[in-house]
Each structure stands twice: as structure tokens, then as C-alpha cells.
């Protein structure tokens, strides 16, 4: 039977709970255990799919087409275990499920309540789809004390009883702030937060204490005493120099050992962490550096492009170079050509990422043009590929080329797709239909042309990548675009949906309709990102 690790946070948010969960899972995995990480989000949206990237950061998409919290991206990058729909649930989804059942009369006249109905639904979610696993890590979003997270904490309390002794461990992540004026680390917020959690019936077995200064032994002992845990189970967690240094750092502080001990499992031999030391060696001892310009819309909040940021770093790991990312606001590229050139000239490669809406699109198209004309490596992802196709059409004389996403156009190079085949059968959508969960979502196969640039990058002609978009490049314009030098080198297996375009006459010019960044791992960089950064390295030697 799977053992459960419940992870809560206290004092403040943004302490790196997701990273802690991902790192602990990676450490348990390195010890030979099978793991899965789940995220419980207390907000009322059914999923983060309709939330602004500014509010919530990136929407992470799983193979099975779920739009999920970006923490699932960390989980996947650290463990290599592909996340699923069943790994992320929100209060909104739970209530939606319950209210749908209530309307059908499934509760047979009972009064529907938070306890037991909501808590039962949360428990069912935690226990669904866990066959054969050694450990299930459940991260509760938000901070203990939030009204919204109460049903989740209550569900954990019940579940810990249901599972029985030794079958679950509770980890609480808190902040130990440093008060400069007093020159001291303060343990009181941690004590209060643990008391609040304990009052809800969940006593933590392990405390992870984030601080900016090393935690002195005396403070560690004090936290242990007041919070009712062994001193060794108070794990200090200082800021790390890279997120990929976090697993080794937690191991050095004894996190995995203490968690196993809390389960009554003899920790045994230390895990082999070569994978992580190799990554850190490559990050800390680069043999060069490149600067990549990312021309996008949500550049004010780095979390909006979380996976993209990581995938570019992975490309650097693959080539042993430092990757400097310049987040460039697409709206700055709408004016004068000389000004655009001045901004883009320092870049060794240009990337136009995914996005929604018209704002900044002319700037994105101008950046594509700059990259094409100047032979600068170019990578277009999702909306970025669509912009590359529109740029090619305009270059070929179709000056009003556009996408129906931005309004009516007489040259719809990119258009709304209302019907396509998926592994679950024919998918159909209506114009003006619901926005939530109605895109082409999740993993779809693609066939690559045998002698294309991308087939040599992938070393394969059959690939599968994750999608999240509503519009598609219109194959009606394929011939026109190919005449202009843009080759459709990847298509859906039935040949109807363009998946990849490339320019064989350019040093590196690839547009993909999917999101390769979602599948890149630090220990297994995505081939497209590895190749793109390699092209940037070549470019850096030219300038």
C-alpha cells in the first residue's frame, strides 16, 4: 500500500513548497522508491486554464491534457515521472463534481456538507490512481490558516487516521525570519504556525525551516522542543544557488533520512545523487555563454514562462554553457526597424514563445523577420510558430496575412479549428464556446519528414508532444508558404494539422505548434532546446 507524505506551508507563501516536494520525491526515487506527487489547490477555479499568467504563472499541461498548476512542472522535471490529470485538483473541481452529483439527486436527499462530502471527495482524489506506488506526496497549496485550505487540512487529518499508523508523515514548511536589528533568527512564527496546524488535528513529524541565515543549534533545539519533533527532524533550508542544487542540499540536511525514520523505515545506504552533481557541475563550470532574447507578452513575471525558462537552462546544461535570458516585451518591437535591430543585435538567438491575444503580435512578427533576414537562430513555439507563418506569408506578398484569433481577416494563415481527431475520438468545438478546457490539449503524435532538420534533431520521425492552443496553421496556404522557403516538416499523422515548420536555408529556424519546454528535464534536456542553444553557441562565435 502506498505511503503518504502530506506537505503544508506556514507563515508566508512562496517558500518553495513545490520545490521541496519535488526534491524530496527525487531523493526517495534515488533510494529506489517509486513516487508520485500531487497538488491540492484551494482556489475555486476548476483548473488554472482560464487564469491569467500574471495571476498564477504558467499553466502546465500534462500528457493526458490537464491544465494544471506550474508546480507539476517542477515535479516532472525533478522526477521524470509524467504528471497526470489525477495529480492536480482544486476546490473548484471538487465542488463542481459534488454540485453535479447533487443536481442529479445522487445524494438521495441528504444534506450536502463540507464534512463529509467535500472531505470525502478530497480523500478519494488523494487515493485515486496510486497502485504500485511506494510514496504519494501531497502538497497543499496556500498557507495554514487560510479559510480556503481548511477542508484540505481536515481531509488530511481524517486520511491519516484511515491510513493507520506508520502509513503517513506530515511535513510542514515554515519561515524562520532574520531580524537584522536584533541580529537574530526568530522561531516564534514557526511555533505559531505549528500550533495552528496542530489545532486542526495534524501534528507535523518533520519541519522544514526556510531561512536566509544558517539555523544555530540552539534555535533548532528550541523549535524541536516547542513544536514536538525530534531535533534532527527540524531541517534547515537555506536559499540555494540554483533550484537544481536543492535535492543535494536537502539530502545534506537529512530530509529524506528523517522522512523515512518518521515512517519507521531504516534509511540504509545514502542514495546516489550523481545525476544532480553532474547538473550542478555543468551549471557552475560553463565553457561559454549565450544570450537568448525571448520576445513575449508576459515578460513582467518570470513564472509565466517557467518551463520555458527551465528548458533554456537545460539546453545550456546539454552544451555546458551559461544561458542568459533576456525577457523582451514584444510591444517594444512594433516601431522603427533600426530600433528593433539595436535591441535584437546583442542576442545570439531569438525565441517567440506561446501566448494569447493580439497585443504585441506585430512586435513578435518583426522579431521573426529580423531573425530570418539576419540569419539569427530562431525558435517559435505555438503562437511563435503561428507568427513565423504569418511573417512568411507577408514576405510572400500576402500583406494582410493574420490569424482569426485577432479578428476577421481575408488571409487566415492561422484559423480556428473546430474539429480534429484525438485518441479519444473526434473532438468538436463551437465558435464562441466555453474558454475553459476547450483547446487542443495534451499529447498528440506527429510525423516528421525523413530528411528534415527536425528529424535529425530528434533522431526520429515519430514524436509525441504536448499541445495547448485553439488555432492552427491553415494547410490551405501550405504551398504558398513553402514557395517562400518555409518547409512543413512535421504534420499530424493524418496530414491535416501542421506541427512543425522549418527553414532549411537558415542556420536554425524552427517553429513548433506544441510546447516542447513542458517535457524537458535537467538530466534529459529536450533535443530541440539542446540544438537551439548549440546554434546560439555557433552564432556567438560569429559575432
Chain centroid to Cα 105, Å, comes to 38
Q: How far is the CB of 386 from ligand GLN (least distance, A)?
A: 6
- Smallest distance, Å, CB 285 to ligand GLN? 35
Q: CA 474, CA 385: separation in Å to the nearest integer?
A: 12
* One of 4, 43, 356, 477 touching ligand GLN (CB under 6 A): 356
**C-beta closer to ligand GLN: residue 439 or 453:** 439
Angle between helix 255-262 and 17-30 (nearest 10): 80
Alpha carbon separation from 181 to 114, 189, 238, 348, 518 (Å, rounded): 45, 17, 20, 46, 44
Rounded Cα distance, 543 and 349, in Å = 12
Report yes or no: 240 and 252 within 8 Å, Cβ to Cβ.
Answer: no
Cell numbers 537544481: residue: 244
Residue 58 binds to ligand GLN (criterion: CB under 6 A)? no
- Residue 465 touches ligand GLN, criterion: CB under 6 A: no
Among 4, 263, 444, 471, binds ligand GLN (CB under 6 A): 471
Of residues 367-396, which lie at the interface with ligand GLN (CB under 6 A)?
Answer: 382-383
What is the SS3 string spanning 243-259? Answer: HHHHHHHHHHCCHHHHH
Catalytic site positions: 382, 515, 517
Instruction: Please tell me whether residue 348 adopts helix, strand or coil conformation.
Output: coil
354 touches ligand GLN by CB under 6 A: yes
Which residue, chain included where needed, has cell 507535523? 204
Nearer CB in complex with ligand GLN: 70/207: 70
With CB under 6 A as the rule, give the number of residues binding ligand GLN.
10
Does 53 engage in binding with ligand GLN (CB under 6 A)?
Answer: no
Is position 263 an interface residue for ligand GLN (rule: CB under 6 A)?
no
Q: Which range, of 102-110, 332-340, 353-361, 528-536, touches ligand GLN by CB under 6 A? A: 353-361
Query: CA angle, corner 49, sides to 413 and 333, nearest 5?
Result: 45
3-state secondary structure of 413: strand
Answer yes or no whether residue 470 interacts with ligand GLN by CB under 6 A: yes
Shortest separation between residue 59's beta carbon and ligand GLN, angstroms: 9
The CA radius of gyration of the chain, in Å to the nearest whole number, is 25
Taking CB under 6 A as the binding criterion, the range among 174-182, 237-245, 275-283, 464-472 that sits at the site for ligand GLN is 464-472
CB closer to ligand GLN, 32 vs 433: 433
Smallest distance, ligand GLN to C-beta of residue 385, A: 8
DSSP structural state of residue 110: P
Residue closer to ligand GLN, measured from CB, 230 or 357: 357
For residue 468, state whether it binds ligand GLN (rule: CB under 6 A). yes
DSSP string across 357-376:
SSTTHHHHHHHHHHHHHHT-
Contact residues: ligand GLN, CB under 6 A: 354-356, 382-383, 405, 468-471
Amino acid at each position: 500500500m502506498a505511503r503518504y507524505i502530506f506537505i503544508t506551508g506556514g507563515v508566508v507563501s512562496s517558500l518553495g513548497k513545490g520545490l521541496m516536494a519535488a526534491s524530496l520525491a527525487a531523493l526517495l526515487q534515488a533510494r529506489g522508491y517509486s513516487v508520485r506527487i500531487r497538488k491540492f489547490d484551494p482556489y475555486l477555479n476548476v483548473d488554472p486554464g482560464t487564469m491569467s499568467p500574471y495571476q498564477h504563472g504558467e499553466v502546465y499541461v500534462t500528457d493526458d491534457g490537464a491544465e494544471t498548476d506550474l508546480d507539476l512542472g517542477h515535479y516532472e522535471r525533478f522526477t521524470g515521472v509524467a504528471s497526470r490529470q489525477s495529480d492536480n485538483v482544486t476546490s473548484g473541481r471538487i465542488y463542481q463534481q459534488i454540485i453535479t452529483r447533487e443536481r442529479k439527486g445522487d445524494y438521495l436527499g441528504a444534506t450536502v456538507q463540507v464534512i463529509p462530502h467535500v472531505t470525502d471527495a478530497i480523500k478519494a482524489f488523494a487515493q485515486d490512481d496510486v497502485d504500485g506506488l511506494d510514496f504519494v506526496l501531497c502538497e497543499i497549496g496556500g498557507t495554514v490558516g487560510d479559510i480556503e485550505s481548511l477542508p484540505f487540512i481536515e481531509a488530511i487529518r481524517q486520511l491519516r487516521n484511515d491510513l493507520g499508523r506508520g502509513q503517513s508523515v506530515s511535513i510542514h514548511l515554515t519561515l524562520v525570519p532574520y531580524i537584522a536589528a536584533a541580529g537574530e533568527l526568530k522561531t516564534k512564527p514557526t511555533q505559531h504556525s505549528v500550533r495552528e496546524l496542530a489545532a486542526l488535528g495534524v501534528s507535523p513529524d518533520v519541519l522544514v525551516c526556510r531561512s536566509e541565515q544558517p539555523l544555530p543549534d540552539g534555535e533548532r533545539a528550541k523549535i524541536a522542543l516547542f513544536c514536538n519533533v525530534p531535533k534532527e527532524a527540524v531541517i534547515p533550508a537555506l536559499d540555494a544557488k540554483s533550484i537544481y542544487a536543492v535535492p543535494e542540499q536537502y539530502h545534506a540536511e537529512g530530509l529524506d533520512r528523517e522522512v523515512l525514520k518518521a515512517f519507521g523505515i531504516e534509511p540504509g545506504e545514502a542514495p546516489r545523487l550523481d545525476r544532480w552533481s553532474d547538473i550542478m557541475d555543468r551549471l557552475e563550470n560553463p565553457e561559454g555563454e549565450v544570450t537568448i532574447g525571448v520576445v513575449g507578452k508576459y515578460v513582467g513575471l518570470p513564472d509565466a514562462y517557467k518551463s520555458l525558462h527551465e528548458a533554456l537552462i537545460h539546453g545550456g546544461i546539454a552544451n555546458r554553457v551559461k544561458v542568459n535570458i533576456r525577457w523582451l516585451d514584444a510591444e517594444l518591437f512594433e516601431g522603427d526597424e533600426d530600433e528593433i535591430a539595436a535591441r535584437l543585435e546583442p542576442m545570439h538567438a531569438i525565441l517567440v514563445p506561446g501566448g494569447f491575444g493580439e497585443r504585441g503580435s506585430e512586435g513578435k512578427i518583426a522579431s521573426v523577420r529580423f531573425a530570418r533576414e539576419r540569419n539569427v537562430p530562431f525558435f517559435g513555439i505555438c503562437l511563435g510558430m503561428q507568427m513565423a507563418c504569418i511573417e512568411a506569408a507577408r514576405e510572400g506578398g500576402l500583406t494582410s496575412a493574420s490569424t482569426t484569433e485577432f479578428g476577421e481577416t481575408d488571409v487566415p494563415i492561422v484559423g480556428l479549428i473546430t474539429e480534429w481527431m484525438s485518441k479519444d475520438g473526434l473532438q468538436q468545438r463551437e465558435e464562441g464556446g466555453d474558454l475553459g478546457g476547450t483547446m487542443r490539449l495534451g499529447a498528440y503524435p506527429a510525423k516528421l519528414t525523413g530528411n528534415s532538420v527536425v528529424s535529425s534533431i530528434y533522431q526520429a520521425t515519430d514524436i509525441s508532444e504536448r499541445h495547448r492552443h485553439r488555432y492552427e496553421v491553415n494547410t490551405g496556404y501550405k504551398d504558398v508558404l513553402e514557395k517562400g522557403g518555409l518547409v512543413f516538416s512535421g504534420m499530424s499523422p493524418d496530414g491535416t494539422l501542421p506541427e512543425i515548420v522549418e527553414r532549411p536555408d537558415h542556420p536554425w529556424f524552427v517553429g513548433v505548434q506544441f510546447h516542447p519546454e513542458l517535457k524537458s528535464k535537467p538530466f534529459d534536456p529536450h533535443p530541440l532546446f539542446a540544438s537551439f542553444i548549440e546554434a546560439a553557441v555557433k552564432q556567438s562565435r560569429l559575432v
